[in-house]
Structure 1
């Protein structure tokens, strides 16, 4: 049987044009981008092409793009910069962030809390949405404690549920209160219009989520933002990300970012296919003895659905589907291998439902035949595996 790949949120298959660009760069542009001779200049041009393509994708200036190893490093750098020093402020610095953010944000926030930063956590609505009112309440809570809110962190699209967060409204709130807004846009770019990110001061992206290579991403900043380094070494990336850049990965990132400017329309077309997949899975689950519960009732990106199957464990259902050559996941790829329930879903709907969850995410190459085949294989799994009593 062929594999039906429904895990595009975990990673996307590299596009053939991306692979071709990387193969060509590996032959022609293998030099050190910091070298001033011809091979170095050719390599440097690949790096700068990537910087310009990513800037055009998000709507920032190329001079404000720092290339990183991926979304995790970009998120870490974004949070680090606001709390690298006391900055002369007499009050305790504060970060406002939700528990449903990506682990690279949540774990760094916990690290900052251990360093003395006041972290005001924001609870999501059961729908999976972080409301602007809840962000405002968290900011008020921090100020009432004598702290000064320096940064608010908010995903554009949740990595597990696909719920779209109110970036523009939270950005307006941050502007009115003198705080910066960092937006993890890893799951948004290439899927939603660029206007989804309007008002963000810092934005993280990752190449492998947009048909590019793994191991490269970027943090984009407003011109007024002055980043502080996490790493120490050479002067690459203005000293913010020392280490020799990879021109081969950069070549792939450039092509992927250019393509991603035109793919939101294709993703919008997936909404009907996603809705049909979800409706049929609910029907199949009901026939098999349990009514699947959709997770994320708020507005979602058009390609993601997340369902809890009462009586099943999500990772066991995923393993059974893998034997049927259907690729789905039970949580964030960054949390794979842990026995803990998804912290995103636990915060939204409780641990029991989180343990029973399966995420399915479509992509630009997903077809009606893929969905039909996945449903047939899902039916086989549910038909021979009864939920625990």
Structure 2
């Protein structure tokens, strides 16, 4: 059987062999409850704290600033709901954010806890910084600005450094969904340590960030909220005292062991992903030969090196995804968290319109993508298009 070509790294990444090995070892030896104070519990706790330390080093913060969660979605929920847990106000965000931001924003507004100011999105795929400046200057009681570091569908890097600088002048809490950035690029072009110590350390500004292990070759079911001592967090769930009472529930030492390995691996991820850009560009050139009327979604100068989102001239996104799946090529037509819905991508719709969104698909590459896999994908796409012309 011909090997499949996996070009959906933004949905999830294949776990490292070292991650799998570490998890297998812990599953056999440190399966106890890490909250228990006996010998077995202390052994399990060591893996939880090992993950916390590794994630803190990746994020450039103290281990005490790491709240372990079930993933990026929970981390985003925790940040947004904490900002409006005690006092209502304005939440500034945009329609190109991940569903774990936009849907929480809609829920907060429906509950009367927040007024949402939706930022204008440019055709480039980036938020409009001028509109952000207007929102921060004119909206009443802005409590939180939520924006992503890298868009999950287009790969467009958002102006996080500019946004944080603008928010700092008004003491607005900034939450950065950095799930697609850690292990691939620096957040907003600034190293994690600089974000924490230089920008986030300024007077009156608080910056939190979210990450997910499975986006950087770790296991699913674990992630983190990178926070600060002066950020008041309120638990979304109620229960035990785990994670200082912020995130109740029994932590999984097995997943934590895998997270620790993935976080250490991610520290050098930017160097590995920089080389992926050449393969991404080769893929785009091949796609343009197959469909000269193809349009690239997002300013090519602003993108992370591993993502291309394109609108084909005649194919609908879901149909092409299904056709390529039969050819052994895995891609997506939007966020994996929105798969199965009939709605077109809200990201591409915000940038352009629904018609273009319905014709768009995402190819996301990773450090394991090879030249051979790109060529195999292009051959498969060519076959699909040839059949469509013959029909």
Unaligned runs of 5+ in 1: 87-91
Cα distance in 2 for partners of 1:272, 1:174 equals 35
Secondary structure at the counterpart of residue 305 of structure 2: coil
Cα distance in 2 for partners of 1:9, 1:74 equals 18
Q: Deviations over 1:167-204 (max 9, x none)?
A: 11100111101101100000000001352552461000
Q: Does 1:350 align with 2:353?
A: yes
Q: Deviations over 1:232-268 (max 9, x none)?
A: 1100011111111000000000000000001110100
Structure 2 counterparts to residues 282-297 of structure 1, below 5 A: 282-286=288-292, 291-297=293-299
Q: Say if 2:136 and 2:167, in contact at 8 Å, map to a contact too.
A: no
Cα distance in 2 for partners of 1:225, 1:100 equals 25
Secondary structure at the counterpart of residue 177 of structure 1: coil
Secondary structure at the counterpart of residue 141 of structure 2: strand
Secondary structure at the counterpart of residue 94 of structure 1: strand
Cα distance in 1 for partners of 2:128, 2:318 equals 30
Q: Does 1:306 align with 2:309?
A: yes
Q: Deviations over 1:13-43 (max 9, x none)?
A: 0100000000000011101000111110010
Q: Deviations over 1:262-298 (max 9, x none)?
A: 1110100111111111121011112xxxx11100115
Cα distance in 2 for partners of 1:161, 1:48 equals 35
Cα distance in 1 for partners of 2:373, 2:99 equals 30
Which of the residues 334, 343, 347 maps onto 1:331?
334
Q: Does 1:124 align with 2:118?
A: no
Q: Say if 1:74 and 1:218, in contact at 8 Å, map to a contact too.
A: yes
Cα distance in 2 for partners of 1:363, 1:75 equals 24
Which of the residues 132, 142, 147 maps onto 1:149?
142
Unaligned runs of 5+ in 2: 201-206
Of 74-83 and 217-226, the range deviating more from structure 2 = 217-226
2:382: which partner in 1?
379
Q: Say if 1:121 and 1:138, in contact at 8 Å, map to a contact too.
A: no
Structure 2 counterparts to residues 30-41 of structure 1, below 5 A: 30-41=31-42
Structure 2 counterparts to residues 183-198 of structure 1, below 5 A: 183-193=176-186, 195=190, 198=195
Cα distance in 2 for partners of 1:51, 1:24 equals 19
Cα distance in 2 for partners of 1:26, 1:50 equals 15
User: Across the two proteins, how many residue pairs are aligned to each other?
Assistant: 375
Which of the residues 270, 276, 280 maps onto 2:286?
280
Cα distance in 1 for partners of 2:270, 2:339 equals 28
What's the CA shift for 1:134?
1.8
Q: Say if 1:68 and 1:219, in contact at 8 Å, map to a contact too.
A: yes
2:204: which partner in 1?
none
1:139: which partner in 2?
136
Secondary structure at the counterpart of residue 385 of structure 1: helix
Which of the residues 95, 100, 106 maps onto 2:102?
106
| Aligned-CA RMSD value | 1.3
C-alpha change, 1:19 and 1:158, in structure 2 (3 Å) is same
Q: Does 1:251 align with 2:257?
A: yes
Cα distance in 2 for partners of 1:80, 1:214 equals 23
Secondary structure at the counterpart of residue 169 of structure 2: helix
Q: Say if 1:310 and 1:353, in contact at 8 Å, map to a contact too.
A: no
Cα distance in 2 for partners of 1:258, 1:222 equals 21
2:46: which partner in 1?
45
Cα distance in 2 for partners of 1:170, 1:22 equals 38
Which of the residues 167, 172, 178 maps onto 1:174?
167
Cα distance in 1 for partners of 2:390, 2:320 equals 10
Cα distance in 1 for partners of 2:46, 2:142 equals 39
C-alpha change, 1:196 and 1:343, in structure 2 (3 Å) is farther
Cα distance in 1 for partners of 2:125, 2:117 equals 18
Normalising by structure 1, what TM-score?
Answer: 0.94
Cα distance in 2 for partners of 1:168, 1:387 equals 50
1:162: which partner in 2?
155
Poorly superposed stretches of 4+, deviation over 6 Å: none
Cα distance in 2 for partners of 1:219, 1:61 equals 13
